[in-house]
Chain A
Amino acid sequence: MRVVKFSPLLLTFFLLAACSADPEAADHYAKREEVNVIIEAPASIEADSAPQIDVKLTQDGQVLEQEASVHFLVWKDDNKADAESIPASLEDGTYHLEYNFPSDGVYFIKADVKVDNIHLMPTKQIRVGELTEEEKEKILEEQEQKKQENSGGHHHH
């Protein structure tokens, strides 16, 4: 009987094939077009200045040639509801934010990017000037609290 002869081979194959998901398996299935986005900002920003803040779009390591629709939302601290919407100015494939940070503190810059049916919306948090002692203390306190609660497990479907 053929089946009997090959059964140890098949069984070994089956057991060996066990448990190893192929990281390349996704190549066999539907893929989405990918555009990468980064927000570049200077290492230090002073209040009442207009620093150079850019959004760069790339695809497969190359600057994206296609023009995207980009606008920024800028807000301070938790005041997201009052965010200012500022359209980006395009120059040499780079999208600039022209904004004057009025005072020291923690700001958020959200770039809203649309190319075809791709919609990206990274938010970067930046520090302008010096933080007050109060702000620093609050940060440390919240970090400590977050650390404790995040010691939990990893969620998996």
Chain B
Amino acid sequence: MEAQKEPSVSKKKQRKRRSLYQSVWRWHFYAGLIIMPFLIILAITGAVYLFKPQIEAALYKDYYEVTPQTTITTPSEQINTVEAVHPNAAVTSYRPSDSPDRSAEVGITEDGKAYTIYVDPYENVILGKLEDSFKLVNVFEKIHGELLMGTVGDRIVEWAACWALILIITGVYLGWPKMKGKSKIRGVLVPRLNKGKKLRARDLHVVPAFWISLGLLFLIMTGLPWSGLWGNNFQTLTTNAGVGYPPSVWVGDAPASDVKTKEIADVPWSAENLPVPVSTNQQYTQLSVDDVVSIAEEEGVKPGYNIMIPQTQDGVFTLSAFPPKARDEVTMHIDQYTGAVLADYRYDNYHTLGKVIAYGITIHKGTEFGIWNQIIGLLVCIGIVGIAVSGFILWLSRKPEGKLGSPKAPSDKVMKGVIVLIIILGIIFPLVGISVIFVWLFDRFVIPRVPALKRFFNA
């Protein structure tokens, strides 16, 4: 090609490409080494969480299953039963039974801890009690979302997820087919198993990584709206701009109950539902949960929802359902004194981005398309662990040679694309931007000055 006309320029160019290729390789290596453990943790906990419905149905069979009978007690009678057993607890939520053979759930907080009490609605007896934060699947969810480290853990997960994007981008660049024609797809789409040990190790990382990356990319993009920093900002921006979820579904405030007169304001709110306080003559009382359930029925909300009971004077009853399929989602706010439906947000009321995020979330959780959704999710999780491990093996297998193999760089166009993509990612995801700057400084100024590091990174 061009090389034959002007050999010196071309050689220089090739050297430059080669060194760029090596730095991309180094970046892929940094990113891989740092986030590999997190990716493995996320994949394993995610794989467990995918099967939440089956796991919980098996674990809590005795708490879930009830025998249908001809007479059923009212929600408030069931709540009274719970209050009688836990006189010092505050009742925070009620979840009506969603099928004739399923128990109802009463959420309480007692001594600062949240519990779920399972009640047989026919017999009006308590079947069992679980502390929410110790439910097995919730523990996995907490590791998946914040590594059991609260806000710090949430930021680490978000950061690792964003860096995984850099891994994918640099990985695509490194694995970009260098040969023309038919052999192009070999080594990217199909592994070469009989072309020697080295190529096999490479292809066993590159080929599955190419396929799994599609799934990984999907999981990252659908998982990020959940994250504490980026996700919250993203949700707030889209909600405020009127293109996402309505307020209060994810971010933003629920409407407030109309605290009608000073009759209510004067009385300690905790006096709700009690006989008239001695100091005043009259006041509005909080709606009974029975009324809230009947409103839900009138509004056409199918059972399977949870009712959050207001804990403040101007709070609302919030009826929410996040069932397997995104299009069945409901968030409804009801005035605690009048029963007025203050806001009723169904899937159809989400704007475009909200709908996209909602579908992303149900597919991410493996509920949208039933068992196949779960199986494909599981395969991607196994694949992620696989490519993390095969990447590590690949690195081990090459490290002793002290060489990178044969870096035949693809065109400058692709390289420019990689850099632009990383910069864009750094802008969209501040955590990535900040850490990219640190890694770049390290790569540019520290490594070349420390001989041991230089040798180690083959820079």
Which residues of A line the B interface, CB within 8 A?
Answer: 1, 3-4, 7, 10-11, 14-15, 17-23, 25-32, 34-39, 41, 43-45, 77, 106, 108, 117-127, 131, 135-136, 138-140, 142-143, 145-150, 152-155, 157
Interface residues of B in 256-276 (CB under 8 A from A): 258, 260-261, 268-272, 274-276
Cα of A45 to Cα of B281 in the assembled complex, Å: 9
Q: Does B311 contact A (CB under 8 A)?
A: yes
User: In the bound complex, do residue B291 and residue A121 qualify as a contact, i.e. CB atoms below 8 Å apart?
Assistant: yes
Q: How far is the CA of A19 from the CA of B253 in the complex (A)?
A: 12
Q: Does B81 contact A (CB under 8 A)?
A: no
Docked pose: A29 CA to B350 CA in angstroms:
8
A119 B339 Cβ-Cβ under 8 A: yes
> How many angstroms from the CA of A43 to the CA of B242 in the assembled complex?
46
Q: B271-314 toward A: CB 8 Å interface, digit per residue (1/0)? A: 11011111001111101000100010010000000001101100
* Distance A19 CA – B209 CA, assembled complex (angstroms): 36
Given A34-B340, A36-B258: A29 in contact with B242 (beta carbons within 8 A): yes
Please tell me if the beta carbons of A123 and B90 are within 8 angstroms of each other in the complex: no
A17 to B232, CA, bound (A): 11
Q: 8 Å CB contacts to A: which residues of B377-429?
A: 420, 423-424, 426-427
How far apart are the CA atoms of A148 and B58 in the complex, in Å? Answer: 38
- Chain B residues closer than 8 Å to A146, beta-carbon distance: 270-272, 274
Contact of A32 among B270, B338, B343 (CB under 8 A): B343
Q: How far is the CA of A121 from the CA of B426 in the complex (A)?
A: 53
Task: Check B274–A11 contact: CB distance below 8 A.
Answer: no
Please indicate the chain A residues that have their CB under 8 angstroms from the CB of B112 in the complex.
152-153
Give how many B residues have a beta carbon under 8 Å from the other chain's beta carbons.
Answer: 71
Contact, CB under 8 Å: A152 / B109? yes
Segment of B46-54, B157-165, B243-251, B361-369 in the binding face:
B243-251
Knowing that A26-B343, A45-B281, A126-B281 are A-B contacts, what are 8 other residue pairs whose CB atoms are under 8 Å apart, sorted by A's residue number?
Answer: A7-B426, A10-B427, A22-B239, A26-B246, A28-B246, A32-B342, A43-B281, A122-B337
Contact B338 A125 (CB under 8 A): no
A134 vs chain B, min Cβ distance (A): 11
B172 at interface, CB cutoff 8 A:
no
Given contacts A11-B430, A44-B281, contact A122 B276 (CB under 8 A): no
Asked if B240 is at the interface (CB within 8 A of a chain A CB), the reply is: yes
Q: Is B320 an interface position by the 8 A CB rule?
A: yes
Q: Are B270 and A150 in contact (CB under 8 A)?
A: yes
Provided the pairs A23-B253, A29-B242, A121-B287 are in contact, do residues A139 and B276 lie with their beta carbons within 8 angstroms?
Answer: yes
CB of A142 within 8 A of CB of B274, answer: yes
Q: Is B246 a contact of A30 with CB atoms below 8 Å?
A: yes
Contacts of B277 in A (CB 8 A): 139, 143
- Are A155 and B276 in contact, with the CB atoms below 8 A? no
Docked CA distance A148–B285 (Å): 19
| A153 engages B311 (CB within 8 Å) | yes
Q: Which of A30, A135, A145, A155 contacts B93 (CB 8 A)?
A: A155
A33 to B285, CA, bound (A): 23
Point out the residues of chain A lying under 8 angstroms from B355, CB to CB.
none
Of B253, B278, B320, B433, the contact of A140 (CB 8 Å cutoff): B278
Q: Could you tell me the distance in whole angstroms from the C-beta of A7 to the nearest C-beta in chain B?
A: 5
Return A94 CB to nearest CB of chain B, in Å.
17
A143 touching B291, Cβ below 8 Å? no
| Nearest 9 CB-CB pairings of A with B | A28-B242, A29-B246, A30-B349, A150-B270, A22-B240, A21-B252, A121-B339, A146-B270, A126-B282
Residues of A with C-beta under 8 A to B352: none
Docked-complex contact A17 and B237, CB < 8 angstroms: yes
Q: List 17 A-B contacts (CB under 8 A).
A: A3-B423, A3-B424, A7-B427, A17-B233, A22-B252, A25-B240, A26-B247, A30-B343, A34-B342, A37-B338, A44-B281, A108-B285, A119-B295, A120-B340, A139-B274, A146-B272, A154-B312
The residue on A at minimum CB distance from B113 is A152
Set B87, B237, B240, B285: member contacting A124, Cβ < 8 A = B285
A118 to B312, CA, bound (A): 25
Task: Give the complex CA separation of A114 and B432 in angstroms.
Answer: 55
In the assembled complex, which residues on chain B have CB atoms less than 8 Å from the CB atom of A18? 232-233, 236
From the candidates B109, B284, B343, name the one contacting A153 in the complex (CB within 8 A). Answer: B109
Report which of B240, B261, B351 forms a contact with A21, defined as CB distance below 8 A.
B240
Task: Give Cα distance in the complex from A8 to B233, angstroms.
Answer: 17
**Max chain A CB contacts within 10 Å: which of B89, B338, B423, B430?**
B338
B92 at the interface (CB under 8 A from A): yes
| Complexed CA–CA distance, A35 and B339 (Å) | 11
Q: In the assembly, what is the distance between CA of A29 and CA of B248, in Å? A: 11
In the assembled complex, the Cα of A155 lies from the Cα of B3 at a distance in Å of 69
Please measure, in the bound complex, the distance between the C-alpha atom of A125 and the C-alpha atom of B283, giving whole angstroms. 5
Smallest distance from the beta carbon of B271 to chain A beta carbons, Å?
5
Min CB distance B244 to A, Å, is 9
How far apart sit A138 and B278, CA to CA, in the bound complex (Å)?
Answer: 11
Q: Counting CB contacts under 8 A, is B116 at the interface?
A: no
In the complex, residue of chain B having the shortest beta-carbon distance to the beta carbon of A138? B275
What is the minimal beta-carbon distance from A13 to any residue of chain B, in angstroms? 10
Q: How far is the CA of A121 from the CA of B287 in the complex (A)?
A: 8
